[in-house]
């Protein structure tokens, strides 16, 4: 099974201090044979979000976050994560179509829409998110999706 | 050795890469297609380059990372060079690695923090 996670799930998984980390970890460990698919956009947004955590009051140490980023990169070489290439121009076109179809009815942050647009190209078996808005949008597009709270 | 045998038994190079030839004619069908399932567990991304690009930049081949493949296309199909992905750790082991890196990190609600920052 190929699973495409979004940034909210990956940050929760990679930052063990997150209040939902246990749920994300349990889900991740349960998928023993799954291939976790990532895109260039997802890697950027995840790494950027992890670094942003350092800005929080009593946030994590920047050296620790750099260690997490490197570990995540290593998991793409010897773990079950796989980066796939996607055509960003096509993805932006898909974003415009998504916006035209759903933006007046659903909460759609621009960066999050891009993940759902990428699903069209990556076509995973499951989309995993912690973001209810993104879950609604992916479901509207008939992508198999799972919302982890 | 024909192309089908070549695809099923890739040759190993000194760099640790696997090499095999693929045809482009006739178009692969269900009957004569390359037996990819065994390869797909190891190869995670493939890019196609021309032989001209290869001659101008041979480092494209020598710098293949684990899990990557390069297809050098030609009229007969081309050459595929792969480097197997080393799946060396299980999800549980990955989480154990993460635990060591993030030991003692302060508790927080990451999603709430990141959404507030937008």
Residues of chain A where predicted confidence (pLDDT) is lower than 70: none
Q: Which pLDDT tens digit goes with each residue over B4-56?
A: 566 556 666 655 566 666 655 445 455 544 444 444 455 567 788 888 888 88
Task: Determine the Cα–Cα distance for residues A6 and B56; give it in Å rounded to an integer.
Answer: 38
User: What is the pLDDT at residue A149?
Assistant: 78
Query: Cβ A59–B109 below 8 Å, yes or no?
Result: no
User: What is the pLDDT at residue B79?
Assistant: 84
For A29, name the nearest residue in chain B, comparing CA atoms only. B91
Residue B92 zone, left/alpha/beta (φ > 0; ψ -120 to 50; rest): alpha
For B65, name the nearest residue in chain A, comparing CA atoms only. A77
User: What is the pLDDT at residue B21?
Assistant: 64
Task: Determine the Cα–Cα distance for residues A61 and B24; give it in Å rounded to an integer.
Answer: 53
Task: Determine the Cα–Cα distance for residues A50 and A36; give it in Å rounded to an integer.
Answer: 19
Phi, psi of B45 (to 5 degrees): -155, 145
CA angle A119, A122, A125 (to 5 degrees): 80
User: What is the pLDDT at residue B6?
Assistant: 60
Query: Cβ B45–A85 below 8 Å, yes or no?
Result: yes
CA distance A95 to chain B (A): 19
> How far is C-alpha A126 from the chain's CA centre?
12
Element containing residue B47 per DSSP (H, E): strand B45-50
pTM of the shown model? 0.70
Decide if B102 touches A, using CB distance below 8 A.
Answer: yes
Task: Determine the Cα–Cα distance for residues A122 and A84; give it in Å rounded to an integer.
Answer: 8
User: What is the pLDDT at residue B75?
Assistant: 77
User: What is the pLDDT at residue A78?
Assistant: 84
Query: Cβ B95–A29 below 8 Å, yes or no?
Result: yes
In terms of pLDDT, which residue wins out, B73 or B17?
B73
CA distance B54 to chain A (A): 20
Q: Which pLDDT tens digit goes with each residue over B76-112?
A: 778 888 877 666 789 999 999 999 999 989 999 988 8
User: Domain boundaries in chain A?
Assistant: 2-83, 88-124+131-143
Please give the structure tokens belonging to residue A59: 């946030």
DSSP string, A55-75: GSTT---HHHHHHHHHHHHHH
CA angle A117, A122, A124 (to 5 degrees): 105
């Amino acid at each position: 099974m190929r699973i495409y996670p979004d940034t909210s799930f990956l940050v929760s998984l990679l930052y063990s201090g997150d209040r939902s980390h246990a749920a994300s970890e349990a889900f991740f460990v349960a998928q023993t044979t799954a291939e976790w698919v990532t895109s260039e956009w997802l890697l950027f947004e995840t790494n950027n979000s992890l670094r942003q955590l350092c800005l929080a009051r009593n946030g994590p140490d920047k050296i620790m976050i750099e260690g997490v980023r490197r570990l995540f990169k290593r998991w793409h070489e010897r773990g079950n994560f796989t980066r796939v290439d996607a055509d960003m121009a096509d993805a932006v076109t898909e974003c415009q179509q998504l916006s035209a179809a759903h933006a007046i009815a659903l909460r759609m942050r621009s960066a999050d829409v891009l993940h759902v647009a990428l699903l069209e190209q990556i076509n995973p078996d499951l989309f995993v998110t912690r973001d209810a808005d993104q879950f609604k949008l992916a479901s509207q597009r008939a992508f198999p999706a799972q919302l982890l709270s | 050795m024909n192309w089908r045998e070549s695809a099923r038994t890739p040759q190993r190079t000194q760099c640790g890469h696997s090499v095999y030839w693929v045809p482009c004619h006739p178009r692969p069908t269900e009957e004569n297609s390359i037996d990819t399932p065994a390869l797909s567990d190891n190869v995670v991304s493939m890019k196609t380059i021309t032989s001209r690009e290869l001659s101008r930049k041979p480092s494209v081949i020598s710098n293949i990372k684990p899990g990557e493949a390069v297809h050098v296309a030609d009229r007969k199909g081309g050459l595929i060079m792969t480097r197997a992905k080393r799946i060396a750790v299980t999800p549980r082991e990955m989480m154990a690695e993460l635990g060591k890196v993030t030991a003692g990190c302060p508790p927080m609600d990451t999603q709430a923090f990141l959404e507030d920052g937008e």
